[in-house]
């Protein structure tokens, strides 16, 4: 094995969507960046796997809705400089039983945040949801809202855009280089990989669900709940069938497990007749690496097909394709994300920026900027209230 030793202003650990955004942000501010990715860019094992993510501005907590509203201009700017359309406003439909709270939020709470912020949306009964969007057989007490600016984000387009912009700005990417240890000190940070030891002034850890092991090694464990999610792809019955991005808040089962579902309409950038529907079910994994190789959960796919059969007559209720990937949330359900420096937690911790957990794709351009601020300036005045690492 060849050994190498490079130096940079900032080392970014992880080449998922947030890591690529962080690296580009640092590079465009004129600082040398080295990005280390343990697999190949675009691999399907991490949080940025698959084709699409939900774009929505509704949140049960006002600060996240505000952040989503502030992030949309950043997406538009990324689209403009990369020449790619990344966020498609296919609409966001949330419905189900009010009072059911999941890691997404809760219907009434999200609607009242939108009212406070002046975000337009239509409140709908079960019959209206069925008539407008093609759902069927919904319990009569279901209700919800449609928010027309919501929609879907092109995952692979985003990764390609950020990688291309990063390369043009001078980001050095090293694929298949696994970071084993991070050691900050009074003058910088040493980053040990399976190929050598690199040196930088600061490090940004954008390692997603895999980040726990690295931070444990730093003597600073982060409380991440790591799990696997499965998705199915279903065929539309005819060219007229389409759906907005949707989330159905279904009552938990007797054990309290989340039984909600979500899905997408036709993919605006690839077209085709297959649409994705999935259970919002978390299959825990002991450690991120233990989930490799990954198989979709057969029980989850069967439950999704049953739900499609009962409530989406425009789709053929047979799983035509399936996928699975790792996700992570802060173990504390009161937190949406972990983002901040290790200042005060370990010696020289201000040199280590950490972002992990949460439904973060919609915030990729904002989180990249905040990570770059923290690495270069030690603080971020942007989007106050977002930096919460505890
Ligand atoms: C099924 C699913 C549905 C989701 N739906 C939504 C949604 O609708 N809306 C939304 O906003 N978000 C959603 N998310 C969340 C969102 O996709 C993730 O928050 C986001 O993609 C995470 O990006 P990341 O760059 O932080 O992490 P990742 O994409 O996981 O990237 C981390 C990278 O770090 C690398 N790495 C880890 N450890 C090391 C190491 N030691 N050395 C070198 N490299 C390392 C990994 O290989 C990986 O490439 C969803 C996630 C999943 C899984």
Instruction: Please confirm, yes or no, whether 325 is among the known catalytic residues.
Output: yes
Residues pairing with 233 in the sheet: 276, 321
d(CA 96, CA 247): 8
Q: Which of 195, 355, 358, 361 for a ligand 1 pocket mutation test, highest count of atoms within 8 Å of Cβ? A: 361
169: tokens are: 């700005």
Domain 87-152+225-330 has CATH 3.40.640.10: no
Q: Which of 177, 362, 369, 373 is catalytic?
A: 362
- Sequential pLDDT tens for the chain (390 residues): 557 899 999 999 999 999 999 999 999 999 999 999 999 999 988 999 999 999 999 999 999 999 999 999 999 999 999 999 999 999 999 999 999 999 899 999 999 999 999 999 999 999 999 999 999 999 999 999 999 999 999 999 999 999 999 999 999 999 999 999 999 999 999 999 999 999 999 999 999 998 888 888 888 877 888 888 999 999 999 999 999 999 999 999 999 889 999 999 999 999 899 999 999 998 888 666 654 557 899 999 999 999 999 999 999 999 999 998 888 998 888 788 889 999 988 999 999 999 998 999 999 999 999 999 999 998 887 655 555 554
ipTM for the predicted complex: 0.99
C-beta separation of 93 from 157 below 8 A: no
Alpha carbon distances (Å) from 373 to 10, 72, 157, 218: 11, 19, 25, 22
- What is the reported pLDDT for 365? 97
- Choosing from 359, 363, 368, 371 the residue with most ligand 1 atoms within 8 A of its CB, the one to mutate for a pocket test is 359
Let me know if the fold of 7-48+156-223+334-377 is the same as that of 87-152+225-330: no
What is the maximum span of the chain, computed from C-alpha positions, in angstroms? 65
Provide the pLDDT for residue 282. Answer: 87
> Residue 89: exposed, middle, or buried by beta-carbon count in 10 A (0-12, 13-18, 19+)?
middle
pLDDT at 235: 98
- Ligand 1 centroid–CA 48 distance in Å is 4
Task: Tell me whether residue 359 is one of the annotated catalytic residues.
Answer: yes
177 C-alpha to center of ligand 1: Å? 17
Distance 111 CA to ligand 1 centre (A): 28
The residue ranges of every structural domain in the chain are: 7-48+156-223+334-377, 87-152+225-330
Position 15 scores a pLDDT of 98
State which ligand 1 atom lies nearest to the alpha carbon of 46.
Answer: 30
Let me know if 201 is a catalytic residue: no
Residue of minimum CA distance from atom 33 in ligand 1: 14
Known catalytic membership, residue 94:
no
Are the C-beta atoms of 67 and 383 separated by less than 8 Å?
yes
Say what the pLDDT of residue 341 is: 92
Relative to beta strand 172-174, strand 33-36 is parallel
State whether the beta carbon of 16 lies less than 6 angstroms from ligand 1. Answer: yes
Name the strand (E) or helix (H) holding 118: none
List beta partners, residue 152.
Answer: 54, 88
> Does ligand 1 come within 6 angstroms of the Cβ of 36?
yes
Determine the pLDDT at residue 379: 82
Q: Is the CB of 262 under 6 A from ligand 1?
A: no
- Separation of CA 326 and ligand 1 centre (Å): 8
Residue 204 pLDDT: 98
- Output the pLDDT for position 390: 46
Distance CA 247, CA 53 (A): 12
Q: Report CA(207)–ligand 1 centroid distance (Å).
A: 7
Cβ within 8 Å of residue 277, ≥6 positions away = 231, 232, 233, 234, 261, 262, 263, 264, 304, 307, 308, 312, 315
Name the burial class of residue 68, with classes exposed (0-12), middle (13-18) and buried (19+) by CB atoms within 10 angstroms of its CB.
buried
- Name the CATH superfamily, with its identifier, for domain 7-48+156-223+334-377: FAD/NAD(P)-binding domain (3.50.50.60)
In the annotation, is 300 catalytic? no
Distance from the alpha carbon of residue 125 to the mean position of ligand 1, in angstroms = 35
Q: Are 319 and 145 in contact (CB under 8 A)?
A: no
206 lines ligand 1 (CB under 6 A): yes
Q: How far apart, in whole angstroms, are the C-alpha atoms of residue 119 and residue 74? A: 18
Q: Closest Cα to atom 19, ligand 1: which residue?
A: 360
Question: What pLDDT score was predicted for residue 291?
Answer: 47
Q: CA torsion, points 91, 360, 25, 207, in degrees to nearest 10?
A: -150
Ligand 1 contact, 327 CB (< 6 A):
yes
Residues 6 or more apart in contact with residue 213 via CB below 8 angstroms: 287, 288, 289
């Amino acid at each position: 094995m060849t050994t190498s030793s490079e130096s940079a202003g900032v080392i970014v650990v992880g080449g998922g969507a947030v890591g690529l955004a962080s690296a580009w942000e640092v590079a465009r501010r004129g600082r040398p960046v080295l990005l280390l990715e343990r697999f190949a860019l675009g691999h399907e094992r991490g949080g940025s796997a698959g084709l699409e993510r939900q774009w929505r501005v509704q949140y049960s907590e006002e600060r996240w809705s505000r952040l989503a509203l502030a992030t949309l201009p950043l997406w538009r700017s990324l689209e403009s400089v990369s020449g790619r359309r990344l966020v498609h406003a296919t609409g966001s439909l949330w419905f189900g039983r009010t009072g059911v709270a999941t890691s997404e939020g809760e219907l009434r709470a999200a609607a009242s945040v939108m009212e406070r912020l002046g975000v337009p949306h239509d409140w709908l009964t079960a019959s209206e949801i069925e008539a407008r969007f093609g759902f069927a057989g919904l319990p009569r007490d279901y209700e919800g809202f449609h928010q027309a600016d919501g929609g879907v984000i092109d995952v692979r387009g985003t990764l390609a855009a950020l990688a291309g912009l990063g390369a043009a700005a001078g980001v050095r990417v090293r694929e298949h280089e696994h970071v084993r240890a991070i050691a900050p000190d009074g003058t910088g940070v040493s980053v040990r990989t399976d190929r050598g030891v690199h040196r930088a002034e600061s490090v940004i850890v954008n390692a997603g669900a895999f980040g726990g092991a690295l931070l444990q090694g730093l003597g600073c464990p982060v409380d991440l709940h790591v799990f696997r999610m499965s998705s199915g792809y279903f065929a539309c019955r005819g060219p007229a069938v389409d759906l907005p991005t949707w989330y159905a808040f279904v009552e938990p089962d007797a054990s309290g497990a989340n039984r909600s579902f979500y899905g997408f309409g036709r993919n605006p950038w690839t077209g085709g007749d297959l649409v994705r529907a999935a259970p919002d079910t978390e299959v825990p994994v002991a450690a991120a690496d233990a989930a490799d190789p990954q198989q979709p959960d057969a029980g989850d796919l069967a439950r999704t097909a049953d739900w499609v059969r009962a409530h989406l007559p425009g789709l053929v209720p047979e799983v035509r394709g399936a996928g699975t990937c790792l996700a992570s949330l802060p173990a504390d359900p009161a937190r949406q994300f972990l983002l901040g420096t290790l200042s005060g937690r370990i010696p020289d911790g201000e040199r280590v920026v950490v972002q992990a957990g949460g439904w973060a794709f919609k915030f990729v351009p904002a989180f990249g900027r905040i990570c770059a601020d923290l690495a270069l300036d030690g603080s971020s005045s942007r989007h106050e209230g977002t930096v919460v690492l505890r």
